[in-house]
A and B are shown apart, each in its own frame.
Chain A
Amino acid sequence: MSEDLQKLIDEAVKKALAGDDEAINGIEDRVTRAKAKAALVKAKREQPNASEKSSTSESNEEQPAVENSENVTSKITKMLDYKFSDCLDGELHSDFIQLKPEYWFEIAKFLKEDPDAYFDSLQCNTGFDLGDGMLESRYNLHSMKHLHSIEIRIKVNIDNPDIPSVESIWRVADWFERETYDMFGINFTGHRDLRRILLPEDWDGWPLRKDYEEQETYHGIVVPKVKEGWE
């Protein structure tokens, strides 16, 4: 890369770090602009990087992970109880947090942006059929900065399975929620495009529920196993 180009990129990054966004957006050449944006992200990352490296070495040498996660769950439960009244559903547990569905969107925003919690990565979203007419959605959250994880569970009734969607907070939740909707029928309100992802659009029923019956034919093709006498 030529020297002038490198100088241009360095100047633009410095200006952007000081708060002037137009410096990078004003670069005309598309490739140079992309390089400048990547350099800016790298520079921003290097600032918290120093603290991340030291926290990695500390937590690896210290106590085993189990104790850390118990402390984290009770700490976060207390924080949530203090900030959002009446969000906890039922009794307290030591390895997961049971929440009511109404405030989930605000709580998720708080969990992502609060500097003590800073859960910037949603690891997994699982749907559950608990039986007795209750469905559940479980979220595993992890923080790349503090290296702690928690699990959040939200229960809903099968007749009205509405949970606020968090896909604008963690973009990975977009496809996770579509899959949970596809398999269980939990309706995530506020999702920009909630439709089936794995099964065809005209499929009947929610397969992973415990009381699911397969349909007989699909577009004329027989669905269940045909060779009956072989058992």
Chain B
Amino acid sequence: MGVVHGQEMVLNIGPQHPATHGVLRLQVKTDGEVISEITPYLGYLHRCFEKHCENVSYEQVIPFTDRCDYLASMTMNFGYVVAMEQLMDIKVNDRVEYIRVIMAELQRIASHLLAIGVFGLDLGAFTPFLHMLRDRERIIDLFEMTCGARLLYNYMWVGGLSHDLPKGFVEATLNFLDYFEPKVDEFENLLGHNKIFVERTADIGIMPAEVAINYGVTGPNLRASGVNWDLRKDNPYSVYSKLDFNVPVGKGIKGTVGDSWDRFYVRLQEIRESVKIVRQAIDQLPKDGDVHQSMPKKIRPPKGSIYSRTESPRGDLGYYIESDGSDTPYRLKMRSPAFTALGVLNEIAGGWLMSDVLAILGSLDIVLGEIDR
């Protein structure tokens, strides 16, 4: 058989593109339709978060952390607050801890719903996107009832919360969970077992476990490759050690372990587990307790540094805070999970076709605000 000699073509995707989850530029070297190399170019949303943190006080950092990963603001606040409370040695009461877990898990459900919906939208499935956003709006209604904001909450403060739960929150949440649980099965049938979706995502973009650990990938992407690593179980913070839930791990049901369908399915399973956690947390929620009880009058941590990690919907969120004893942080670094997830794209996307690149990118679930900070 004769061999056709081709020339490599360099193609540019972005920075403005409907399917790149924000402003990301991908320079793709292709040989016909087959990809040989992808180079991501970042920095189109670099908003100088770390420079701002060095110039404002510790309380004023919290709205900035909201805006980094805008799809999961509660968990971004949570990570910062856990790090600060470890640094300052503050212990909060149980009511605050349980409310924080409820908010974080509801936020995890909302973030995964959007991630899966947009993944389907990238591949052309418009209906599941509308269904999932409809249910996400109901979660946002719950958040709006509590703290007044739809997207960027500024809810968790160092030593407590900004507002207590309003009257009727618990009933509204339980109503929502009863309505929502059968919908997850609907989504699984609508999108997950759809023949076109399976053909486009199974066996595509396989990420073996060793590659994932070497590239620092964490969260659902790592769990889809078969590694059982979840910070809520392996390094528990807050009251996660008192709650009972499973950690879903990719098993290669429709194809190989670690392909894009696995990454989608792990997120779907995590939605189910989060529903379980919220129910338990509401059961165990103490009836009384002041949410402003342990809040210090002035946040002035002792000299020292700390690196603490929590589990955000995208993976391992780490905060490295160094304080020099004054009102403003000396250095604050946020280790974002989506940064490392984007770094592995070149490794797993070589050899696939152009239309598979967007499937792989959608399955990694990146948010540019967090990557560029």
Contact = CB atoms under 8 A, between A and B. Distances in A.
User: Do the two chains touch directly in the complex (Cβ atoms below 8 Å apart)?
Assistant: yes
Contact of B209 (A30, A45, A138, A171): A45
A41 B208 contact: yes
B14 interface: no
A35 B256 contact: yes
Interface residues of A, number: 38
Given A41-B210, A198-B46, A123 B307 contact: yes
Interface residues of B, number: 41
Given A120-B213, A175-B339, 18 more contacts: A35-B203, A37-B208, A38-B206, A38-B252, A38-B256, A41-B208, A122-B216, A123-B335, A124-B320, A124-B333, A128-B322, A128-B331, A140-B318, A140-B320, A151-B307, A171-B347, A197-B42, A207-B51
A144 interface: yes
Given A42-B209, A123-B309, A172-B340, A147 B214 contact: no
A72 B208 CA distance: 29
Interface string A105-140: 000000000000000111110101100000000101
Given A41-B208, A45-B226, A207-B48, A144 B213 contact: yes
Nearest to A200: B43
Contacts of A103: none
Contacts of B351: 30
Given A56-B234, A208-B50, A172 B320 contact: no
A201 B68 CA distance: 23
Interface in A24-43: 30-31, 34-35, 37-38, 41-42
B258 interface: yes
Given A174-B343, A198-B46, A199-B43, A42 B307 contact: no
Interface string B238-251: 00000000000000
Contacts of A183: 50
A228 B82 CA distance: 37
Contacts of A151: 307
Contact of A34 (B203, B227, B235, B373): B203
A46 B248 CA distance: 17
B176 interface: no
B69 interface: no
B215 interface: yes
Interface string B336-351: 0001100100010001
Q: What 8 A-B pairs are tightest by C-beta distance, nearest first?
A: A172-B216, A198-B43, A124-B335, A41-B208, A198-B46, A126-B333, A38-B256, A175-B343
Contacts of A121: 213-214, 216
B216 A123 contact: yes
18 contacts: A34-B203, A35-B203, A37-B208, A38-B258, A42-B226, A65-B235, A121-B213, A122-B216, A123-B335, A124-B333, A138-B320, A144-B229, A170-B216, A183-B50, A197-B42, A198-B43, A198-B46, A200-B43
Nearest to B332: A126
Interface in B305-359: 307, 309, 316, 318, 320, 322, 331, 333, 335, 339-340, 343, 347, 351
Contacts of A140: 307, 318, 320
Nearest to B316: A123
Interface string B10-22: 0000000000000
B87 interface: no
A144 B227 CA distance: 10
A42 to B, nearest CB: 6
Contacts of A56: 234
A199 B320 contact: no
Interface in A172-231: 172, 174-175, 183, 196-200, 207-208
Given A144-B229, A147-B234, A172-B214, A41 B320 contact: no
Given A41-B209, A124-B320, A172 B42 contact: no
B51 A172 contact: no
